[in-house]
Structures are given as structure tokens and as C-alpha cells.
Amino acid sequence: MPANDDVVLSIRDLSKQFGRGCEYCSDENYELQKNMCPHCHTVYAVRNTSFDLYKGEILGIVGESGSGKSTLMKMLYFDQDATSGNYNLPEDLTVKGNVFNVSSQKKRQIRNEQLGMVYQNPILGLKMDFSSVTNIAEKLIASGNRNVGEMTDRADHFLEKVNIALNRKYEAPKNFSGGMQQRVQIAKALSNYPPILLLDEVTTGLDLSVQADVLELIKEIQRDMGVSMIVVSHDLAIIRMLCDRTMVMLDGEVIEHGITDQILEDPQHKYTQQLVYSIL
């Protein structure tokens, strides 16, 4: 385990509920139906989740559909408000204490300067009608860059890094294949060198060979740039390929976490055991 001063993101007791709750489900001993209160139908999408992300590591979050992975990522990227919890960025000296409590302007700044996000659906991360260069420039402008020459150079650099031919840089992503769109999203997310990159099911729906290219690219970025990453997937095989440490989620809760190899060799929870046996 790395030293505590290598923590780049620290989450404590993070929760998200959809609905108001009722007198029954407010009692922590009350049995939910999966993640939902059978009485008032409030969904407890993420429950009391705590974890640290260390410098340069890839942390995997694996779990079945509905287990709360995307909701967790949306809260980390401020796409969605948390119901409760603590979010700290120890490396960011401009923000002290719980990031969830800062102004929306400050959250935008953190999002633009500290975080990169790659969504499963490229429509959420890219303006499909704008060129790839413009998409990247948009992120750079949002983080305060105004130098056109520098922005173009930066866009070229990252488009080359993700293997997009520069003679296609003025084309709109809507003309690109799914794999190319994901690569443009990755280039955009990396373009202002964020220390933290969030990747939500980025290879789901891609052909196997394209999937392998994108996974290889993610590994290469970690090696070359030392970016810390959180990778969400329902597929343990992808987590095994990429992640140093892994958290397993079920019904909104983290049921197991540890070094990925350890989880694969000696899964403790029944659900994790099923997941592991399914890829053997």
C-alpha cells in the first residue's frame, strides 16, 4: 500500500439516494430490496462508500448493472450532487476541506483543472458536430487557456497520442467510429494534464479488437503520464487487465476491496466469487 501522502483523492461515507426515504428505511437495520425501500421506493444508489485514490494508480470499480458505479462517478465529477459524504483533494492546495461544500464556480474549476472524464456514451463527453480540435480547445478554454497556437499544438499532441490521424483533426466526431470517438474523448480529457482521470465503461459496446486498442491506450497513458485513474466496468476481465486495486460494488455498497490480484485469487464475498469464477 502506498504512503498516505500519496493520496490524490479521498472519499469518506459517500451516499446518494433518489427519493426522500421514510420512517422504515431511515432505520439502518431495515432490510432493503436490493438497493430500494419496498415501502417508499427510495433508491439508495450509493451507500457510505469510502476509498482513497493514490498517485499514479488505476483503481477499478466493478459491479453488476444497477450497483451504483455510474452514480458514484457522476458525484466525483459533479454531474450529480451527493446526498452526503466527504470529498477531499489533498494535492489541490486551492481547496481546503470538503469539496462538496465549495461554490459551483470552484467545482467547475476543479472539474476543468483537476479531473478528466471519459463517458461510456461519447455524446456526453464530446460535441459531436464540432471538430476534434475544437472539442479539445473547448476544454482548454474552460481551464483558462487563451493562446490559440498553444491550444492547437496541445490538441495535435493528444490526438497523435491517441492515434487519431492529424489529417482528420478538423472532422467532427460524429463521422468517426465508436473506438475513434472514445479516443477523442480520452484526448480531450487528458488535454490539460489533469492528475485524475475518470473512465466510466469506456469500452462497453466496442468490438473486441477496438476494445483491446483502447485498453492498451489507457495502460500507456498511465505508464507515460502517471495519471491516477478510476476505471468503472461491469467486466472483471477488463479490471484484471488494467487495475492495481479493485472495489467490488453490489446494491450501492462496496462489498470487497483490495489489490486486484488478491481479489482474483482469493475472493471473500459470494458475489465476488461468482464474478471471478465467471472469467476463469
| Distance between CA atoms of residues 231 and 242, nearest Å | 8
Q: How far is the CB of 234 from ligand ATP (least distance, A)?
A: 6
- Applying CB under 6 A, the site for ligand ATP has a residue count of 13
Residue 67 sits in the site that holds ligand ATP (CB under 6 A):
yes
The answer to whether 235 touches 69, Cβ cutoff 8 Å, is: no
Q: Which of 49, 71, 109, 222 binds ligand ATP (CB under 6 A)?
A: 71
| Shortest-Cβ-distance residue relative to ligand ATP | 70
Q: How far is the CB of 155 from ligand ATP (least distance, A)?
A: 30
Identify which of residues 127 and 234 has a Cβ nearer to ligand ATP in the complex: 234
Site for ligand ATP in 1-20 (CB under 6 A): 18
Residue 81 sits in the site that holds ligand ATP (CB under 6 A):
no
Side by side, the strands of the sheet bearing 228-233 are 115-118, 196-200, 228-233, 58-63, 245-250, 253-259
Identify which of residues 187 and 206 has a Cβ nearer to ligand ATP in the complex: 206
Q: Which of 68, 173, 194, 267 binds ligand ATP (CB under 6 A)?
A: 68
Q: How many CA atoms lie within 13 A of 98 on its CB side?
A: 9
Identify which of residues 68 and 267 has a Cβ nearer to ligand ATP in the complex: 68
Structure-block grid coordinates of residue 86: 466527504
Q: Which of 66, 122, 173, 267 binds ligand ATP (CB under 6 A)?
A: 66
Site for ligand ATP in 139-198 (CB under 6 A): none
Q: Which of 69, 139, 188, 257 binds ligand ATP (CB under 6 A)?
A: 69
Residue 70 sits in the site that holds ligand ATP (CB under 6 A):
yes
Residue 114 sits in the site that holds ligand ATP (CB under 6 A):
no
Site for ligand ATP in 205-234 (CB under 6 A): 234
Identify which of residues 43 and 140 has a Cβ nearer to ligand ATP in the complex: 43
Q: How far is the CB of 5 from ligand ATP (least distance, A)?
A: 31
Site for ligand ATP in 24-63 (CB under 6 A): 35, 43, 45, 63
Q: How far is the CB of 49 from ligand ATP (least distance, A)?
A: 12
Contact residues toward ligand ATP (CB under 6 A) are: 18, 35, 43, 45, 63, 65-71, 234
